[in-house]
Amino acid sequence: MRRAVYPGSFDPVTNGHLDIIKRASKQFDEVIVGVLVNSKKTPLFSIEERVNILKEVTSDIPNIVVKSFEGLSVNFVRSCESNTIIRGLRAISDFEFELHLAQTNRVLAPDIDTMFLITSLEYAFLSSSTVKEVAMFEDDLEKFVPSQVAKLLRERIRKIEK
Ligand code: ADP
């Protein structure tokens, strides 16, 4: 069984993340999307919300499993009985950060490899933080995120503004 883990914050999941998930699902028998509980960041969506959103938007892809995790990605990958980390690369600006992360992970866990999928061009500009900023001023979010996420974002951002 070829199993990969795609870790991230997914706060919230965007069409860019979903594109990576779909493409990875074609390369592996199973892809576990690992949603990071990061105590250093204050997320817009709670860990339960992010996991549930991801489960909903990937429900039509049979070989996707969504789980939350705390701590080091490599430990989570091991606990999933996998040796592959998937990450997405959008631009050169992602490269330096991802390179350091992958090199650190290699020192921590030489048996685990990171594989990068290059973003599809139409999503190259997309990030969770940009989408959250756009949501403050614009209702039409379906260009950036799945419709379920767009609805939740509109509700959540308005609540904060009030
Ligand atoms: P993190 O906080 O771990 O960077 P993110 O949820 O922001 O988590 O991203 C998870 C992974 O998905 C990262 O490898 C990131 O580079 C990648 N990613 C984010 N947005 C896109 C996109 N639009 N296209 C391709 N990959 C993306």
Scored b (16 or more CB within 10 A) or e, 121-157 reads eebeebebeebbebbeeeeebeebbbeebbebbeebb
Backbone conformation region of residue 115, classed left if phi is above 0, alpha if psi is from -120 to 50, else beta: beta
Task: Looking at the CA of residue 87, tell me the nearest atom of ligand 1.
Answer: 14
Average pLDDT over residues 9-17: 97
For residue 89, what are the β-bridge partners? 118
Band of residue 18 on the pLDDT scale cut at 50, 70, 90 = very high
- Upper half-sphere CA count for residue 47 (Cβ side, 13 Å): 12
This prediction's pTM: 0.94
pLDDT at 158: 72
Cβ atoms 131, 150 nearer than 8 A: no
Structure confidence by residue, pLDDT tens digits, 35-75: 999 878 899 999 999 999 999 999 999 999 999 999 999 99
What pLDDT does residue 160 have? 65
Known catalytic membership, residue 90: yes
pLDDT in tens, 88-100: 999 888 999 999 9
**Peptide linkage before 12 cis (omega within 30 of 0):** yes
Architecture of domain 3-121: 3-Layer(aba) Sandwich (3.40)
Cα 3–Cα 101–Cα 28 angle in degrees, nearest 5:
15
**Of these residues, 3, 22, 23, 90, which one is catalytic?**
90
- Please give the average per-residue pLDDT across 101-128, as a whole number: 96
3 state SS of 67? strand
Confidence of residue 159 (pLDDT cuts 50, 70, 90): low
List the domain boundaries for the chain.
3-121
- Going by C-alpha positions, the residue among 46, 49, 45, 50 that lies closest to residue 34 is 50
**What is the Å distance from ligand 1's center to 87 Cα?**
7
